[in-house]
Structure 1
């Protein structure tokens, strides 16, 4: 499966529905009428746009990393959350159970998209633990949000703990791109080895030294 094509499809869908949302919003403002149908169409196009962004992040992860369960799960939750929200917009199913399921799907969709997007930068081996830790922290925050809504938790200590976890997620989200830049700077200072292909797996450098080269799959 060509995940680059899937990523491109989600990107085109996002741009298309974003333009459609803007057009509908402009027509609504110009006409001066915000009817029920216009509001539902705006909600639908906006929902699809956000779901496309989440799914696109997961598709990008699938394209660059060899761990399909995480990427596919993220895409499934993105699709599921969009379906649930759009169904509620048009069918108005309502009910606490439907609301709880929708919230869970949305939180998981954002959690997968956020975590997998932060896995895209290639960090040095001794710094990859930051990405793993960030994924765990994002998962904990997602579970806290879902539990707080499902069980209607009204406890100051619980929300303070959730705030601390959210701050850690924000910090880690900022740190990973910085580590990537530092890694790039160190890489620029390393010696560059230029190889010339001799046959299928054999390469030769400028000094005549030969190397057996095999493609290594990116690890999660």
Structure 2
């Protein structure tokens, strides 16, 4: 069985999607009439870029021990998310009810990509390991809270959104601090 290099595949897909998106964008701005078809085509290519980027992030950990299933799941979520989004953009299904599904797939693809990039950090000690685990938990909490808010059509009380803000700040803090702390830490400390 031939080995598939997912990283190269998604890099090529991302570059192609960016080129197509740029060409369509230039056409729409210079010669298009901003009609339904031009807008849908532009949204389709932008979706391809976004989901390809997420899948690319997930592919970076494919070769890491114990992370192949997570990587494949993230790539699958990105692929399915792209198909779901395209279905909504081109209105193959009643998009009013389908809109929540599109948003949920965007949240999931983003979370999988985010976590995949965090998992590239090779903790030098236990302190960094626990910081990494805690940050991944914050990413999951933010994703779950956003999904819940999407399902309930953002009909949550004020405290819910305050709590979401707190977890988002902790998510961003951990995302920035973990690789920096790992870089400046020697292997013997912690």
TM-score normalised per structure 2: 0.89
Mapped to 2, the partners of 1:136 and 1:88 lie a distance apart of 31
Residues 46, 130 of structure 1: CA spacing in aligned structure 2 closer, same or farther, 3 A cutoff?
A: same
The answer to whether the 8 A contact 2:104-2:150 is kept is no
The aligned residue for residue 144 of structure 2 is 143
Can you give the 5+ residue segments of structure 1 that lack an aligned partner in the other structure? 188-220
Residues 150, 42 of structure 1: CA spacing in aligned structure 2 closer, same or farther, 3 A cutoff?
A: same
Mapped to 1, the partners of 2:135 and 2:51 lie a distance apart of 22
The aligned residue for residue 78 of structure 1 is 78
Mapped to 2, the partners of 1:180 and 1:125 lie a distance apart of 8
Tell me the SS of whatever aligns to 2:52: helix
CA shift, 1:55, in A, is 0.6
Deviations 1:138-160 (CA, angstroms, capped at 9, x unpaired): 11111101111212333000000
CA shift, 1:61, in A, is 0.9
The aligned residue for residue 62 of structure 2 is 62
Mapped to 1, the partners of 2:24 and 2:95 lie a distance apart of 29
Tell me the SS of whatever aligns to 1:91: coil
Tell me the SS of whatever aligns to 1:61: coil
The aligned residue for residue 89 of structure 2 is 89
The aligned residue for residue 110 of structure 1 is 110
Mapped to 2, the partners of 1:25 and 1:96 lie a distance apart of 26
Equivalent pairs, count: 185
Tell me the SS of whatever aligns to 1:64: coil
Alignment root-mean-square deviation, CA: 1.9
Tell me the SS of whatever aligns to 2:33: coil
Residues 142, 109 of structure 1: CA spacing in aligned structure 2 closer, same or farther, 3 A cutoff?
A: same
Mapped to 2, the partners of 1:108 and 1:100 lie a distance apart of 12
Tell me the SS of whatever aligns to 1:121: coil
CA shift, 1:95, in A, is 4.8
The aligned residue for residue 40 of structure 1 is 40
Mapped to 2, the partners of 1:60 and 1:98 lie a distance apart of 31
Mapped to 1, the partners of 2:96 and 2:147 lie a distance apart of 13
Tell me the SS of whatever aligns to 2:40: helix
Larger Rg: 1
The aligned residue for residue 213 of structure 1 is none
Deviations 1:27-69 (CA, angstroms, capped at 9, x unpaired): 1212152121111111111101111111111111112342222
Can you give the 5+ residue segments of structure 2 that lack an aligned partner in the other structure? none
Tell me the SS of whatever aligns to 1:123: coil
